[in-house]
């Protein structure tokens, strides 16, 4: 019984059996009383025994030896006690297996923080075997030094006061492997009270893979996949944080909004893979040409943002510095790049805006965007600083875009006609000009809304409305006895590219009984940049049916003589910008001479538009210009007034 007793009660039997005072050490007072008041017969009792300063619930048999004075175990208790010991050891083994099978690391600690159990998962996570760490303070083995004091303080506070600081909380900290490797862990330390004894349990999980997955998700959410730059979402969060927490009231923030010009041309002509590589090179150039503290982001498409580090230099100095930096970026981006086998070049427009603490991220982006559009208007290779007037212009543009659809259906568009005359001052025709009577913005000329309509895919409906209006008006004039030799109609290249354009034109001519020879289709010089093979086929087909073509705004685009000769143009129109100062500008005079000479070579008429003075008229007459149009002869007028002008 000696060994069994010792295993169960953690003491040597001989120490206490000598004087017959065993019960004073093993049984609480209530258990002793129970034995003393036994009936004198063998009884079956359930009592608690003292076990290494704790109590153990035990079922025993008792019998009187000296009635009323002592009670003791009978001799056969040896077998009973062996079974109790065996059961106790079995339960301990089961608890150990349960802990070792746990997915999380489990460490049991005494009130000093020393390890009294260390499961298999912890061995795998930290590299220590159980024997190495039992009895030692947990923190000294598995935590880096910077967390040990905090951990010890949490245990000490609880033991002393019961205060649970950093206990029963899921905390992410760094764990320390036996090899010295530091890795992220999640730990929950909870106090356990058994009678008057305090213990602690620590549940630990290695979260290295979770951290990696989280970082991968973060990278995907906040990084542009193509360029590796921070994306719009990252920029928005970053700027919000700067505005709320980092900027002081006396600091000035600066944002660049960068748009690449001619990128679409590269993308469409050389392929998207070349376009993607170009964007990657652009991203590298931007990143390598900014200062420490500046941030480059890709907004999307061919648009980038550069957020400069905030400064206290004042707005005027900030603007001056920003212009220098932005101009440097523009120059750098304009340098030719070798993409695959192709030398590729783009031009950049940069909008600059300043902001202060308290400003809204969306407003800041809008200001920079407005400045970028102003830079585009200035040239395809320039920088502009935001002003309030730019914002008003942008808001007006947005209002125009939003109103385009309803303008057609609500009949807000109307047509004016400007007369054309030859050298003998004979009426030879009129040009149809669209206008828009906007309900809130007033009268809008085509220069304001046509480019927006083309950009935002609204031109098809407007183009159909214009053609139908003009063909219908020609029929009305005929009914009134007025027949113009010809009417010129402006056609956008996008209209010409539509598959059903030829059928549309012919159906309208048939519907309103209009002779094709009375119609001149005016297309701008930019037609030379489009798909010539497709357009040439349409031009030839329409020309064979009697329609005529005029090359409008000549001198403002990029016409190729080779392509020019391939098209059946019967007329060239010299733009007003060329002839405005023809009397004083020798370059424009020489240019006009060249245009007229070229047109004559190809057997085409030359029409000068925007003629406003007798001086301009005389010079153009002398140069051999065939026809004239402008305020000198007639302003654009409504159809009824045009009829009265002709009759008078």
pLDDT digits (tens, 9 = 90+) for 80-122: 444 544 554 454 555 556 566 677 899 999 999 999 999 999 9
Q: Does some domain include residue 402?
A: no
Most confident of 147-151, 372-376, 515-519: 515-519
The pLDDT value recorded for residue 525 is 61
Same domain, 271 and 375: yes
Q: Which tokens hold the place of 616?
A: 């301009």
Would you state the pLDDT for residue 377?
82
Q: Which residues contact 547 (CB under 8 A, 6 or more apart)?
A: 505, 516, 517, 519, 520, 521
Residue 24: count other Cβ atoms within 10 Å of its Cβ. 13
Q: Which has the minimum average pLDDT: 60-64, 217-221, 446-450? A: 60-64
Domain boundary, last residue among 357, 385, 413:
385
| 401 vs 63: which has the higher pLDDT | 401
Q: Scan for tokens 């549940």, then name that residue.
A: 203
Q: Which residues on adjacent β-strands are paired with residue 348? A: 260
- pLDDT of 137 strictly over 60: yes
Same structural domain for residues 93 and 119?
Answer: no
Residue where a domain stops, chosen among 36, 63, 97 = 97
Placement of tokens 């990696």 in the chain: 212
Q: What's the pLDDT at 426?
A: 93
Q: Of the candidates 49, 72, 97, which is a domain's last residue?
A: 97
How many structural domains does the chain have? 4
Q: Are residues 636 and 537 in the same domain?
A: yes
Q: Are residues 525 and 634 in the same domain?
A: yes
Residue whose C-alpha is closest to residue 386's, from 334, 443, 463, 322: 322
Whether 8 has a pLDDT exceeding 50, the answer reads: no
Statement: residue 371 has pLDDT above 90:
yes
Give a yes or no: residue 450 inside a domain: no
Higher pLDDT pick, 333 / 87: 333
Decide if pLDDT at 14 tops 70: no
pLDDT tens track for 508-559: 999 999 999 999 999 876 655 445 666 788 888 999 999 999 988 765 554 5
Instruction: Please check whether residues 379 and 244 belong to one and the same domain.
Output: yes
What percent of the chain clears pLDDT 70, i.e. is strictly above it? 81
Instruction: Kindly state whether residues 264 and 342 are assigned to the same domain.
Output: yes
Which of 2-6, 33-37, 194-198, 249-253 has the lowest average pLDDT? 33-37
Domain annotation covers residue 413:
no
CB 325 within 8 A of CB 348: no
Residue 635 has pLDDT above 60, yes or no: yes
Residues 263, 265, 269, 271, CA torsion sign: positive
Are 186 and 204 within 8 A, CB to CB? yes
Percent pLDDT > 90 in the chain is: 48
Is residue 398 a part of any domain in this protein?
A: no
182: how many CB neighbours lie within 10 A of its CB?
A: 11
Name the H helices within 289-352.
315-333
**Is there a contact between 611 and 630 (Cβ–Cβ < 8 Å)?**
yes
DSSP strands (E only) in 381-440: 383-385, 413-422, 427-438
**Terminal Cα distance for the chain, rounded:** 140
Phi-psi region of 314 (alpha: psi -120 to 50; beta: other; left: phi over 0): left
pLDDT, residue 86, reads 52
Task: Check pLDDT > 60 for residue 228.
Answer: yes
Measured between alpha carbons, how far is 140 from 144 in angstroms, rounded to an integer? 8
For 439-462, the pLDDT digits (tens) are 999 999 888 898 888 878 888 899
| CA atoms of 563 and 148, how far apart (whole Å) | 80
Q: Tokens at residue 388, please? A: 């309030």
User: What pLDDT does residue 537 have?
Assistant: 83
Domain hosting residue 291, numbered range:
226-385
Same domain, 182 and 292: no
137 and 155 together in one domain: yes
Q: Does the pLDDT value for residue 72 go beyond 80?
A: no
Say if residue 49 is in the same domain as residue 116.
no
- Report the mean per-residue pLDDT for the chain: 82
Give the C-alpha separation, 71 to 44, whole Å.
13
Q: Is residue 369 part of a domain?
A: yes
If asked whether residues 324 and 254 sit together in one domain, one would say: yes
Give the HSE-up count for residue 426: Cα atoms under 13 Å, Cβ half-sphere: 7
Report pTM: 0.55
Answer yes or no: is 431 within a domain: no
Establish if 437 belongs to a structural domain.
Answer: no
| Distance (Å, whole) CA 79 – CA 616 | 131
CATH number of the domain at 240, please.
3.30.70.270
Helix (H, G, I), strand (E, B), or coil: what is residue 134?
coil
359: which DSSP letter? -
Are 79 and 42 part of one and the same domain? yes
Residue 377 sits in the same domain as residue 522: no
Which one, of 368, 354, 327, 388, lies nearest residue 254 by Cα? 354
pLDDT band at 393 (very low <50, low <70, confident <90, very high): confident
Reduced DSSP (H G I as helix, E B as strand, rest coil) percent helix, strand, coil of the chain, to 5: 50, 25, 25
- pLDDT, position 345: 83
Q: Choose among 405, 408, 376: nearest CA to 393.
A: 376
Q: Parallel, antiparallel, or unpaired: how do β-strands 427-438 and 519-524 relate?
A: unpaired
Position 151 in a domain: yes
Distance of CA 133 to the CA centre of its chain: 50
């Amino acid at each position: 019984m000696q060994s069994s007793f010792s295993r169960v009660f953690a003491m040597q039997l001989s120490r206490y059996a000598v004087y017959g005072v065993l019960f004073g050490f093993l049984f609480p007072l209530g258990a002793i009383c129970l034995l003393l008041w036994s009936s004198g017969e063998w009884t079956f009792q359930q009592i608690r025994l003292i076990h290494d300063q704790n109590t153990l619930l035990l079922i025993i048999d008792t019998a009187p030896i000296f009635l009323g004075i002592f009670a003791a175990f009978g001799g056969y208790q040896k077998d009973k006690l062996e079974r109790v010991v065996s059961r106790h050891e079995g339960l301990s083994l089961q608890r150990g297996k349960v802990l070792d099978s746990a997915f999380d690391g489990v460490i049991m600690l005494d009130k000093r923080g020393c390890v009294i159990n260390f499961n298999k998962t912890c061995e795998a996570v930290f590299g220590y075997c159980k024997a190495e760490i039992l009895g030692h303070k947990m923190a000294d083995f598995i935590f880096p030094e910077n967390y040990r004091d905090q951990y010890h303080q949490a245990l000490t506070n609880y033991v002393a006061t019961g205060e649970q600081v950093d206990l029963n909380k899921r905390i992410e900290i760094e764990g320390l492997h036996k090899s010295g490797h530091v890795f992220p862990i999640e730990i929950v330390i909870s106090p356990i009270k058994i009678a008057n004894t305090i213990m602690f349990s620590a549940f630990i999980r290695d979260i290295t893979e979770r951290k990696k997955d989280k970082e991968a998700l973060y990278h995907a959410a906040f990084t542009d996949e193509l360029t590796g730059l921070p994306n719009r979402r990252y920029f928005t969060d970053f700027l919000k944080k700067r505005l709320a927490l980092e900027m002081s009231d006396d600091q000035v923030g600066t944002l660049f909004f960068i748009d690449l010009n001619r990128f679409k041309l590269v993308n469409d002509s050389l392929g998207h893979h070349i376009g993607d590589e170009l964007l990657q090179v652009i991203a590298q150039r931007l990143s390598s040409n900014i200062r420490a503290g500046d941030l480059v982001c890709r907004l999307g498409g061919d648009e980038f943002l550069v957020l400069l580090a905030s400064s206290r230099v004042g707005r005027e100095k900030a603007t001056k510095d920003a212009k220098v930096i932005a101009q440097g970026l523009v120059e750098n981006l304009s340098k030719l790049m070798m993409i695959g086998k192709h030398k590729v070049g783009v031009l950049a427009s940069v909008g600059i805006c300043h902001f202060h603490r308290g400003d809204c991220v969306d407003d800041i982006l809008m200001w920079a965007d407005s400045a970028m559009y102003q830079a585009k208007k200035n040239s395809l290779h320039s920088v502009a600083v935001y002003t309030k007037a730019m914002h008003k212009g942008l808001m007006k543009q947005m209002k125009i875009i939003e109103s385009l659809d309803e303008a057609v259906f609500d009949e807000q568009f109307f047509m004016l006609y400007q007369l054309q005359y030859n050298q003998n001052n004979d009426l030879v025709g009129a040009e149809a000009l669209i206008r828009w009577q906007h309900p809130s913005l007033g009268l809008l000329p085509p220069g304001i809304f046509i480019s927006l309509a083309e950009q935002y895919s609204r031109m098809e409906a407007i183009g159909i409305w214009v053609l139908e209006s003009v063909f219908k008006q020609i029929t009305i004039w005929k009914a009134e006895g007025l027949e113009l030799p010809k009417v010129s109609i402006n056609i956008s290249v996008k209209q010409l590219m539509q598959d059903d354009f030829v059928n549309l034109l012919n159906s309208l001519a048939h519907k309103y009984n209009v002779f094709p020879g009375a119609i001149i289709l005016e297309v701008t010089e930019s037609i030379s940049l489009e798909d010539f093979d497709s357009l040439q086929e349409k031009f030839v087909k329409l020309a064979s049916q009697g329609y005529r073509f005029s090359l409008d705004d000549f001198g403002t685009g990029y016409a190729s003589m080779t392509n020019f000769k391939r098209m059946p143009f019967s007329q060239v129109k010299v733009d007003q910008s060329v002839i405005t100062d023809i009397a004083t500008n020798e370059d424009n005079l020489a240019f006009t001479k060249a245009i007229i000479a070229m047109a004559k070579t190809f057997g085409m008429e030359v029409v000068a538009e925007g003629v406003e003075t007798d001086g301009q008229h005389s010079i153009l007459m002398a140069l051999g210009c065939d026809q004239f149009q402008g305020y000198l002869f007639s302003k654009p007028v409504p159809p009824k007034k045009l009829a009265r002008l002709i009759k008078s």
